[in-house]
Chains A and B, each alone.
Chain A
Amino acid sequence: MMFLKPYGDTLNDGAIQISFSLPHPLNETSKKVSLELALKMGIANPKITFTQELGEGFSFFIIYGNLSHEIDIDSIKTSKVKEPIIDYWDINRLIEEKFNRKIVIVGATIGSDAHTVGLDAILSAKGYAGDVGLERYPVFQVHNLGSQILPELLLEKIMDKQADVVLVSQVVTQKNIHIHNLTQLVELIEGAGLRDHIITICGGPYLSKELALELGYDGGFGAHSLPSEVASFIARRLLEKSK
């Protein structure tokens, strides 16, 4: 068994720093509360190293201490190792052989979200971080609808273009607007009876594969995703499906 806990300069010292604000003026009470909170988090010997009165009945704290918790590494299960990347040539070849037609991909940022850089990074020929985008793959026919597309309109386009794959981006997450939008889209796709005919993928800096699956998507891609990862995922899914 191997236990892991934070490290400062001595193994197992549990050195940790936290900072937060309290909706209470800076005084003996709020200081005491901040220390009690640290203790409740399992931080032993909490020391307030900095405080600031923020006005309007708020205060800010930086606390250092020693975390008493530790985790048994063997108890940790990670989602299985990353699926290996299928390379550009193989993707084109495999799909060509199997389908003998272009795979239609429709992409959009949905709802009121106007961020397109992430979606373009995956779709546009130029790609991201030196990795070419899906438009560059001869077997993919990409329709990038851009931003602020309402889920209803996206569904229309999916039907219109007879899409095989839909890629949606969500960047704004305040008040869980992304969950709302993504759920709405899945429900629409389901309602139209297309759920089994189309691969659904969502992405964005604050999304994860886990969240995507929970929301009913086939795949999800978070910060720093590469187009080649998305292309491999699509190819693998298509080939699995057509078995």
Chain B
Amino acid sequence: MFNSPVDSGILNLPRDSINEARYLGKSIASAVHNKIKDLSTLSIERASLRMLGIRGANQEGTPWVNIFTEKCLSANLIQNGVLMILAQVCKHTSMNPQQAVEMVSENRIHLNDLIEVNGSKEIKKLCDELANKAYQNLSNKKKERLNFINTLSSGTKPYLYVIVATGNIYEDVKQAKSAALLGADIIAVIRTTAQSLLDYIPQGITTEGFGGTAATQENFAVMREALDEVSQKTGRYIRLVNYCSGLAMPEIATLGLIEGLDIMVNDAVYGILFRDINSLRTLTDQEFSRRILSFGDIIIVTGEDNLIKTVDAKEMAHTVTASQIINYYLALKSGLKPGLIGLGHAFEMDPSESDSFLHELAQAWLVRDLFPQSPIKYMPPTRYMTGNIFRGMVLNAAFNLIGVLTNQEILLLGMPTEALHTPFIQDRFLSIENALYFKNAAGNLSNEFTLKESSLMRKRAIEVLNKAVNLLKVINQKGLFNALAEGTFASIKRPENMGRGFAGVFVKGSSYYNPFLSLLPDNATDETEA
């Protein structure tokens, strides 16, 4: 779907710097991997239950998977992995997994009454059977979706990405369908404030959210159905996005897989820095989440745009590049192929500075040239948008021009009313019309370009790349966790034993078993390096 390597390097970047950046990225990623490989988290355990298809909640709305996992924890059994315990319950009672989870959750079965969980062959075998069956089901579902997609056109690049955020899923549906009919290719449903801090997935169809709409399995299904309908109507496949982040990250990945999402915003570092989520917790969660997403062929998009939302974007541009490199190698390690790694960046420099457009263009080319096989997600101006919506249209046009000129694959369209409210229906129309003009009128512009050796943009890109390499060296030396603890990013210090969700991290016991760990893909390769 996303695999058009763009003709290599308009910037003609120094090979040495690129190689060094890649080497450092790989090194940082494998150190992270080594550090987390013996860990699991409560959310990974819950995600594993959800992979089996367990769903639903008790009367108070607490999901069964949460209650069951808590029971395993308080019975001191969690270090075996919840699937081993569930298999044991199933075996003893001859119930199916859903029933077994509910019975335990409602205290009708007590885990302490179970004969001690050990790695007995029989239990392991049952565990494998359950997981294999689930895996097969999910594979079939995925194939079905692919078949559906193949009956439709996939649209043309750059894909136009718009958000809906009314707080009410039914209102979101109307706004999403309208956008698709007007030319949008990708619809993202923005989550309600603070969902990332919930250590569970809320339940049911929801109509009340603030700044966005709750991410629930039921809401995912409502939107997916609506987009499939409009896809059929337009003959163009409309992709669905949600956030795979926060404390429940792996569970959301599972729901994305089950409910046919196409793209998920996924970046642990954002949660660490801006939501004070514990670094061990969320990087461990991210690894498992990415393996799920890679199984589902779901594209991730990373959150580097956030690194320049509160600091000087021109001065700190290299932090974006460094983070992309790290994210890229972490993602490869988790099985995501380059074509599924949507690296994020943004048009956020102060537009009143001279040559700011050139600096933005240089940055966009740099990202494009560094990751020729990956879809790049380009985020529009937000910080310097004001109540002057007319000037906002000009900035968005400048952004769109860079987007098409540098072959960004996913253009998140800016709204003229960015400084005012989450988008109104007509804002989306104006923005789609704006982007379609550039796609149509300037889509082939990049073929016309070469840069002179002394180009200011080339110089700027090389400067950013070299600064990124220096930063990567520091991070590589300290390790990512220490770097986060010492405030290397955004001057925010996040020690690895503090922050939200730390209590949900545990060391896997010697008898820990989770068959999904061997079923899900990992270690993808980057063919450009072969």
Contact = CB atoms under 8 A, between A and B. Distances in A.
A175 B426 contact: no
B208 interface: yes
A177 B210 CA distance: 7
B501 to A, nearest CB: 14
A3 B429 CA distance: 37
A174 B191 CA distance: 13
A19 B416 CA distance: 13
A240 interface: no
Contacts of B194: 112, 114, 148
B274 interface: yes
B275 A114 contact: yes
Contacts of A113: 193
B530 to A, nearest CB: 42
A51 to B, nearest CB: 11
Interface stretch (B177-185, B348-356, B397-405, B512-520): B177-185
A58 B425 contact: yes
B429 A172 contact: no
B422 A117 contact: no
Between B165, B174, B180, B197, the greatest number of chain A beta carbons within 10 A of the residue's beta carbon is seen for B174
A56 B182 CA distance: 11
Contacts of A174: 165, 167, 209-211, 421-422
A6 to B, nearest CB: 16
B178 A114 contact: no
A205 B425 contact: no
A175 B193 contact: no
Contact of A55 (B182, B208, B209): B182
A60 interface: yes
Interface string A108-141: 0001111011000000000000000000000000
A12 interface: no
B390 to A, nearest CB: 11
B210 A172 contact: yes
Interface string A189-222: 0000000000000000100000000000000000
A56 B177 contact: yes
B425 A54 contact: yes
Interface string B459-500: 000000000000000000000000000000000000000000
B178 A58 contact: yes
A177 B193 CA distance: 10
Interface string A51-63: 0101111101000
Interface in B154-182: 165, 167, 174, 177-178, 180-182
Nearest to B422: A174
A21 interface: yes
A112 B210 contact: yes
A13 B197 CA distance: 54
A114 B425 contact: no
Interface in A38-88: 52, 54-58, 60
A32 to B, nearest CB: 19
Between A54, A205, A223, the greatest number of chain B beta carbons within 10 A of the residue's beta carbon is seen for A54
A52 B424 CA distance: 14
B316 interface: no
B310 interface: yes
B308 to A, nearest CB: 12
A175 B210 contact: yes
A112 B178 contact: no
Interface string A166-190: 0000001111010000000000000
B419 interface: yes
Nearest to B212: A174
Interface string B390-421: 00000000000000000000000000000101
Contact of A21 (B193, B422, B425): B425
Given A148-B194, A174-B422, A52 B429 contact: yes
A174 B192 CA distance: 10
A89 interface: no
B419 A54 contact: no
A172 B181 contact: no
B310 A116 contact: yes
A19 B429 CA distance: 13
A205 B208 CA distance: 23
Interface string B420-440: 011011100100000000000
Contact of A112 (B181, B182, B193, B309): B193
Contacts of B178: 54-56, 58
Contacts of B210: 112, 172, 174-175, 177
Nearest to B165: A174
Contacts of A117: 309-310
B181 A55 contact: yes
B424 A172 contact: no
Contacts of A56: 174, 177-178, 181
A116 B426 CA distance: 29
Contact of B426 (A60, A111, A173, A177): A60
A175 B309 CA distance: 25
18 contacts: A21-B424, A52-B429, A54-B425, A54-B426, A55-B181, A56-B178, A58-B178, A60-B425, A112-B193, A116-B310, A148-B197, A174-B210, A174-B211, A174-B422, A175-B167, A175-B208, A175-B209, A177-B193
Q: What are the 7 closest A-B residue pairs judged by CB atoms, nearest first?
A: A112-B194, A55-B181, A112-B193, A55-B178, A56-B178, A177-B210, A60-B426
Interface of B: 165, 167, 174, 177-178, 180-182, 192-194, 197, 208-211, 274-275, 309-310, 387, 419, 421-422, 424-426, 429
Given A58-B174, A172-B211, A174-B167, 16 more contacts: A21-B425, A54-B178, A54-B181, A55-B178, A57-B174, A60-B426, A60-B429, A111-B193, A112-B210, A114-B274, A172-B210, A174-B211, A174-B421, A175-B167, A175-B208, A175-B210
Interface of A: 19-21, 52, 54-58, 60, 111-114, 116-117, 148, 172-175, 177, 205, 223
